[in-house]
Amino acid sequence: MDIFFSDLDNTLIYSHNRKIDGEKVAAEYLNGREQSYMTRKTYDFLAQAHWLNMVPVTTRTEAQYRRINCIDVFNIRYAIICNGGKLLIDGTEDKNWTEETLRLTVGQIDELEESTRLLERLCGKSEIHRPEVYMSYVGAEEPQRLCDELRKMIKGKNVRAEYDRRKVYLFASVVNKGNAVRRFRQIVNVGRAVAAGDDIMDIPMLNEVDYALAADKIFDSIKISEKQRLCGEVISDKICMNLEIIHRSGVLK
């Protein structure tokens, strides 16, 4: 079967703090309050595109992923979470995948723990989160600055420091979206694969598929030949438009 691998945050869904024009649909609630949303156009497309086999590939932890309230509407069977560390099938953790992740990372955990202590020192009183043994993260006001500083301190280790708009992450180096896509293709018979993403952590995934839909800021890092540049801060509607074009062309069935 053909697969659409997609990042979620800032690719298909957006924080409630982001102000955009047009109708929106709540995608997530936290403590009774809207936490994130989708554009109405994106929501309707994904809800109606019954031909589309979408596999979310997200840095979200299991608890964060399960807050998204439209998963069932989109008929999502597989979800790759924790930046590739976990696979959910029909909402249930695939234990074989998790065991393989732990086997792959066993030689990197000590370095991750050491690097996490360095991150804690840099952050002062900020709370370090360790949702899985192979990842940690912290909220940050200046994530890029903090990540750059951390990278200098952990250079040469089997650990990767990454950041997004609000957080800095540490991962055992084998836990990344590119490896996750390769592992998925070993257990699921994937035909053509399309992927969409908006930031640095999505680059490994985008380079592992047949056709990439990439935000402008990472487009030049995508090495495959079949790719589409997506400009603007809100790219989800453009992703849907391109998926429809690809589907009509017979590339994605």
Return the domain boundaries, the chain.
3-102+175-248, 109-172
Smallest CA-to-CA distance from 184 within 102, 79, 51, 40 is with 79
What pLDDT, in 10s, does the model give residues 53-107?
Answer: 999 999 999 999 999 998 889 989 999 999 999 999 999 999 999 999 999 999 9
pLDDT surpasses 70 at 125: no
CA angle 200, 178, 35 (to 5 degrees): 55
What mean pLDDT is predicted for residues 9-29?
90
Distance (Å, whole) CA 174 – CA 212: 22
Structure tokens at 131: 């949702």
% the chain with pLDDT above 70: 99
Q: What is the pLDDT at residue 250? A: 77
Q: What is the pLDDT at residue 226? A: 94
Q: Is the separation of the CB atoms in 148 and 140 below 8 Å?
A: no
**Third-level CATH fold of 3-102+175-248:** Rossmann fold (3.40.50)
Q: What is the pLDDT at residue 97? A: 98
Residue 83, Cα to own-chain centre: how many angstroms? 6
The DSSP letter of residue 13 is B
Please give the backbone phi and psi of residue 137, each rounded to the nearest 5 degrees, phi first: -160, 165
b/e for 169-206, b at 16 or more Cβ within 10 A?
Answer: bbbbbbbbbbbbbebbeeeeebebbbbbbbbebbbbbb
Q: What is the pLDDT at residue 196? A: 98
Give the CA diameter of the chain: 53
SS3 content of the chain, % helix, strand, coil (to 5): 35, 30, 35
CATH architecture of 109-172: Alpha-Beta Complex (3.90)
% the chain with pLDDT above 90: 86
Q: Which amino acid is at 147?
A: C
Strand-pair category, 193-197 with 3-6: parallel
User: How many of the other CB atoms lie within 10 Å of CB of 75?
Assistant: 13
